[in-house]
Structure 1
Amino acid sequence: MKVFLLEDDPETAAFIERGLTERGHVVEVEADGSVALRRLAERDFDVLVLDRMVPGVDGLAVLKAIRAQGRTTPVLLLTAMSQIADRVDGLEEGADDYLVKPFAFVELAARVAALGRRPPTGEFDAVLRVADIEMNLLRREVRRGGRSVDLQPREFTLLEQLMRNPGRIVTRTMLLEKVWNFGFDPKTNIVETHMSRLRSKLNEGFERSAIRTVRGSGYMMNDDA
């Protein structure tokens, strides 16, 4: 597996590179975020490990840039910023996982391996359809009634989870796990806030809501929207 590591501390970078290489991965290391962006534009990787606080463009800005380009490469944010708000910020911008320094290498290696095992988008059905909503996973496009709906990366993933479960209730806990990779409830209104934005975008110009709230349980797609 090809892993790209953005880490400006030489000892930490060497430690991670050596450990992942010993596990059979091919690792490329960069210490500057600006240079990292150029390298990521030139080559594809299976997993990205990004430190947030690096020279040039910080790791979060690198993440935002590649997600804005529509790239879905799994990203693990590795940082000393340990507050829940920091983690939420990173995950909202499109990170797939988040590991706080100091860390145990075995955990980092396990998380990288887990991200690398995720099947590429092409192994899924390329297009999901529920009622008048169509989602193209390869092009990262959503349409309702033939009209394009512009979604942010986290909103796209949120809708994807709902569309993969047509006619079934998707709980708040399930969404926290699948969309934000939270194995716990961070006690924020992150789901509700994103759901409100998603609904607003999907429902604009339509009388019937695309998503229904099941009080006390979760959310589900209206398959006759």
Structure 2
Amino acid sequence: MKRFLWDNGLSLTFGLLFLLSLVGQAFSGNASLNDRRLVDGGDPVGLWQYVTSSDFAVDVAENWQSEYLQFFLFIFATVWLMQRGSNESKPADRLGPESDEQQHLGPHARPESPPWARAGGWRTKLYSNSLGLVMLGLFLGSWLTQSIAGRSAYNNDRLIDFQDTVSWWEYVLSADFWNRSLQNWQSEFLAIGSMAIFSVYLRQRGSSESKPVGAPHDRTDVSG
């Protein structure tokens, strides 16, 4: 057990932080909703009723989709684009998908390489893009969830105001949907762009997200 915890400390720590923040969001969101309902003369709702509602689902999904969009774009952008001096970037002479030899594919695979890296054909091609494709799938799935839950919450508000409901397609084209999406996207793009440029000049000793403290500013694709 100790070895498992040691080997998986990063994912387990952030998994725990995720669960704690999700639970915190559920309680605080429920309290916030009940405050609004009491002001409007409505009855409060229980925690379980809130976490199974479209209000909670859309708040969660709109954050998830922006995060996975960030990772999907960054994964594919770093194949072709560089930031000189950043450990988040490849050096100029390695831009592009690189050769089979550099990627240890097919006959260049090592004994410890994953089986699909050695297999060749569609399996190697699929595995070669699996990380980006999974991030794309998670983005599209959470985006779809956001649109469905968002439409339900949006229509609930319209019914309270005695307005007609809208279809899914109408909601996806609405200002409410794009306001929810873009306010998250812009923050993600700002964060990842800031990380790329700050890592050129700033350091965090011992972090894989930083260059060694003594590394020159223009040194690219190193960590420590």
TM range (shorter): under 0.3
TM-score (norm 1): 0.27
Higher RCO by CA contacts (8 Å cutoff, separation 6 or greater): 2
- Name the larger-Rg structure: 2
TM-score (norm 2): 0.27
